[in-house]
């Protein structure tokens, strides 16, 4: 099979490898799509340490082609979203059966269970409630997912902020009650005007940038919730902690390492997707074959107009 190996700065190489064997509790999945995640951008930009080779890729969907002796579900032929932590940029992955979730009948290149799970868990951890005023900073892929899921909780205001016109247009199409171009308007001023000066009950930071993190404190009400969804790479971040202490914010780290929590998020997310409650239509904007993986990462870095999410797609064997 073919697999992408990260061997240097901005350098994946596609190489041949053996199809992985499976344990009794595992299944073999033929990969149909593998998402290009922003968390893997910095490792691509910097490359692995000298002499090391890395095999990233963790947003996988595909079709079960073999099952282990102890597996009762899923079955061969089932369409699934799966959880793996590496080696996802490959034609096949071996994965525990318990980490596979039914993908429904929709496009498999949109059945990206792992980022859907992250968004489900973020919205549940932040505890969006009926009638809440919610701010989402960042209208990229994760911001869009958080927006869609938060909308299911029945907020009063769902305010989405970004600096890109195309992203804000998409957020409006997805049902934002107000969009804010932060290059032209003050987000805190808009939020205060819509909430009678009170501020948002919950602010989701979905960009992974210092600027967005800073402004969270200016949009959230006293004793409100700041949920950190963005993946903060690179330089250390700073916050005015004395002010955040005084405001008694609840700070939610919407990154999860407990496998049970991840699995529940995947189960809930894929049930919503397979049941038609959550639509991923339009959220996968760019598709690349495995041989163009470096172009896919460059596209993620550059974010051209209309960019939301890149995936690698694999043809039928």
Beta strands in 150-267, from DSSP E residues, in sequence order: 157-162, 178-181, 200-205, 220-228, 250-253
Average pLDDT, whole number, for the chain?
Answer: 97
pLDDT at 265 over 80: yes
> On the CB side of 114, how many CA atoms lie within 13 Å of its CA?
24
Kindly report, residue by residue over 193-224, the tens digit of the pLDDT. 999 999 999 999 999 999 999 999 999 999 99
Which pLDDT band holds residue 13 (cuts at 50, 70, 90)?
very high
Rounded to whole angstroms, the Cα distance separating 181 from 216 reads: 15
Q: What is the pLDDT of residue 124?
A: 97
How much is the pTM? Answer: 0.95
Kindly report, residue by residue over 171-200, the tens digit of the pLDDT. 999 999 999 999 999 999 999 999 999 999
Kindly report, residue by residue over 229-261, the tens digit of the pLDDT. 999 988 999 999 999 999 999 999 999 999 999
Q: What is the pLDDT of residue 48?
A: 96
Averaged pLDDT, 46-54: 95
Q: Which residues contact 103 (CB under 8 A, 6 or more apart)?
A: 61, 79, 80, 81, 111, 113, 270, 273, 274
Count other Cβ atoms within 10 Å, centred on residue 174: 19
Which pLDDT band holds residue 316 (cuts at 50, 70, 90)?
confident
Averaged pLDDT, 304-312: 97
Averaged pLDDT, 9-23: 98
What is the residue-wise DSSP string for 154-170? --SEEEEEES-HHHHHH
Kindly report, residue by residue over 104-122, the tens digit of the pLDDT. 999 999 999 999 999 999 9
């Amino acid at each position: 099979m073919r697999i992408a190996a990260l061997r240097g700065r901005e350098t994946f190489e596609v190489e041949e490898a053996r199809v992985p064997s499976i344990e009794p509790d595992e299944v073999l999945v033929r990969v149909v799509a593998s998402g290009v995640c922003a968390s893997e951008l910095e490792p691509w930009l910097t490359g692995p340490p000298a002499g090391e080779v890395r095999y990233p890729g963790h947003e996988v969907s595909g079709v079960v082609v073999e099952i282990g002796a102890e597996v009762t579900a899923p079955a061969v032929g089932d369409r699934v979203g799966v959880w793996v932590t590496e080696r996802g940029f490959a034609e096949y992955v071996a994965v525990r059966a318990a980490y596979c979730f039914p993908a429904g009948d929709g496009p498999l290149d949109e059945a990206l269970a792992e980022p859907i799970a992250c968004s489900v868990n973020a919205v549940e951890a932040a505890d969006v409630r009926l009638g809440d005023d919610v701010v989402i900073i960042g209208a990229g892929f994760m911001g869009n997912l958080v927006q869609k899921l938060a909308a299911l909780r029945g907020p009063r205001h769902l305010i989405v902020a970004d600096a890109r016109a195309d992203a804000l247009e998409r957020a409006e199409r997805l049902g934002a009650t107000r969009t804010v171009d932060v290059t032209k308007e003050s987000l805190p001023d808009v939020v205060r005007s819509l909430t009678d000066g009170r501020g948002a009950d919950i602010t989701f930071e979905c960009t992974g940038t210092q600027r967005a993190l800073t402004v969270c404190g200016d949009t959230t009400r006293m004793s409100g919730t700041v949920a950190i969804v963005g993946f903060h790479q690179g330089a250390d971040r700073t916050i005015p902690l004395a002010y955040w202490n005084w405001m008694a914010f609840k700070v939610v780290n919407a990154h999860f390492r407990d496998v049970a929590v991840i699995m529940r998020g995947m189960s809930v997310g894929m049930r919503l997707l397979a049941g038609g409650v959550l639509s991923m239509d339009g959220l996968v904007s760019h598709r690349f074959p495995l041989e163009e993986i470096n172009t896919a990462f460059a596209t993620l870095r550059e974010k051209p107009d209309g960019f939301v999410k890149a995936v690698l797609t694999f043809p039928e064997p």
